[in-house]
């Protein structure tokens, strides 16, 4: 190629060698292909790749910055292309319409390479092919990282949506999912399963006497004590207001009585420091019931709730067992 022909090329030799996409590629090997290409100055916001109006071409960024946006079910994802890198190569490789929108982030200078010319360039240069693979591999890693981060954030949001922000216990939404799963498992395998319903005695008096901040502290303290009194496999939930529920997998009536009384006693012995400096104590009432054949989450909780009501009607700070058929058994509080 003579000097006059080189003058008609859209980019100079120095620019060619400064671009990552042409790393280790011989200028003379591709100079003839570049004759069919052109450079343009692109204003900010101009779309270079549009899924609704696809044009098969390779876009090499010479100056400026390009913005890539992909819409997916999880939202919109944004990435940026720096000078020396390219866009549009995937559509050239697989001949499928682009899935991303590429626009100029700032005033930019780009080299447009027609799709058939880009394909011929790749076939003629082993190093150019390797450069494309390297760029695509890097993007794949970055995209995998983005996907993993997005999945992490989605999981975190789902977890937050299932946790009561005040007490840190799971909430009713979590209960519906996990209690149902545990109930199905227990019914199919004929495993023992016990449900507790727990209510803070005279909780309204705490709010009325000390204020709602004090009430919040009581709820937090009760939740913390409840967790300490249970096994890791148990499932405590803030049911609503001052009520809590617990599913205890693999727990028979005999063991449930021991656990319920331990919880009641631990609550009774707990001292709660309020924001105003006062120290108070509270008690709880507990009702429980063991799963019977074909129980549902609602029916088991309902029977535990009836036992709770019976405990509160008979002096509070008590544990009551729902025996079934309307029969209730109050347990005498133990003394350490």
Q: What is the DSSP string of 159-199?
A: HHHTB-TTT-SB-HHHHHHHHHHHHHHHHHHT--EEEEEEE
The verdict on residue 166 lying in a domain is no
| Same-domain check for residues 70 and 198 | no
Q: Find the Cα–Cα–Cα–Cα dihedral 20, 26, 30, 35, rounded to 10°.
A: 90
Q: Is residue 164 part of a domain?
A: no
Domain that holds residue 135: 3-157
Residue 2 has pLDDT above 50, yes or no: no
Radius of gyration of the chain (CA): 34
Q: How confident is the model at residue 1 (pLDDT cuts 50, 70, 90)?
A: very low
Residues 181 and 322 in one domain: yes
Say yes or no: 180 and 133 in one domain.
no
65-69, 153-157, 204-208, 304-308: least confidently modelled range: 153-157
Catalytic-labelled residue, pool 67, 89, 182, 242: 242
Specify the pLDDT at position 153. Answer: 59
Q: What mean pLDDT is predicted for residues 89-98?
A: 78
Question: d(Cα 162, Cα 39) in Å, to the nearest integer?
Answer: 54
Q: Domain check: are 150 and 189 in the same one?
A: no
Q: What pLDDT is attached to residue 285?
A: 97
- Residues in CB range of 234: below 8 A, 6 or more apart: 246, 247, 248, 249, 251
pLDDT, tens digit, 9 for 90 and up, residues 296-333: 999 999 999 999 999 999 999 999 999 999 899 998 87
The residue among 94 and 312 whose pLDDT is bigger is: 312
Does 74 have pLDDT greater than 70? no
pLDDT in tens, 116-159: 998 888 888 888 888 888 887 777 776 666 556 656 655 666 66
Please indicate whether residue 261 is annotated as part of the active site.
no
Residue 286 belongs to domain with CATH number: 3.30.70.270
CATH of residue 78's domain is: 2.60.120.10
Angle subtended at Cα 103 by Cα 100 and Cα 109, rounded to the nearest 5 degrees: 130
Number of structural domains the chain divides into: 2
Does the predicted TM-score (pTM) go above 0.75?
Answer: no
Least confident of 71-85, 138-152, 187-201, 306-320: 138-152
Domain's final residue, options 129, 157, 185:
157
Distance, in Å, from the CA atom of 28 to the CA atom of 100, rounded to the nearest integer, reads 33
Does some domain include residue 82?
Answer: yes
Residue 162, domain member (yes or no): no
């Amino acid at each position: 190629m003579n000097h006059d022909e080189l003058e008609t090329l859209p980019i100079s030799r120095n620019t060619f060698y400064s671009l990552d996409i042409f790393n280790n590629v011989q200028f003379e090997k591709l100079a003839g292909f570049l004759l069919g290409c052109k450079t343009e100055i692109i204003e900010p916001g101009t779309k270079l790749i549009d899924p609704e109006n696809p044009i098969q071409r390779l876009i090499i960024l010479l100056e400026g910055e390009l913005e890539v946006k992909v819409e997916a079910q999880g939202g919109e994802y944004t990435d940026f292309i720096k000078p020396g890198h390219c866009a549009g190569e995937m559509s050239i490789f697989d001949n499928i319409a682009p899935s991303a929108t590429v626009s100029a982030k700032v005033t930019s200078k780009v080299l447009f390479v027609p799709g058939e010319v880009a394909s011929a360039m790749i076939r003629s240069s082993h190093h150019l092919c390797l450069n494309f693979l390297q760029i695509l591999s890097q993007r794949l890693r970055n995209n995998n990282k983005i996907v993993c981060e997005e999945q992490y954030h989605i999981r975190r949001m789902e977890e937050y949506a299932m946790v009561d922000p005040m007490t840190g216990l799971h909430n009713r939404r979590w209960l519906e999912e996990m209690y149902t799963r545990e109930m199905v498992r227990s019914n199919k395998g004929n495993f023992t399963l016990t449900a507790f319903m727990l209510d803070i005695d005279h909780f309204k008096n705490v709010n009325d006497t000390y204020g709602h901040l004090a009430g919040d502290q009581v709820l937090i303290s009760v939740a913390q004590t409840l967790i300490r009194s249970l096994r890791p496999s148990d499932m405590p939930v803030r049911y609503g207001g001052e009520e809590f529920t617990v599913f205890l997998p693999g727990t028979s009536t005999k063991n449930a009585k021991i656990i319920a009384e331990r919880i009641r006693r631990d609550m009774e012995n707990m001292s709660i420091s309020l924001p105003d400096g006062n120290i108070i104590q509270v008690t709880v009432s507990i009702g429980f019931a063991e799963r019977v054949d074909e129980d549902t989450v609602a029916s088991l909780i309902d029977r535990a709730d009836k036992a709770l009501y019976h405990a509160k009607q008979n002096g509070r700070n008590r544990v009551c067992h729902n025996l079934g058929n309307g029969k209730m058994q109050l347990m005498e509080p133990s003394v350490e």
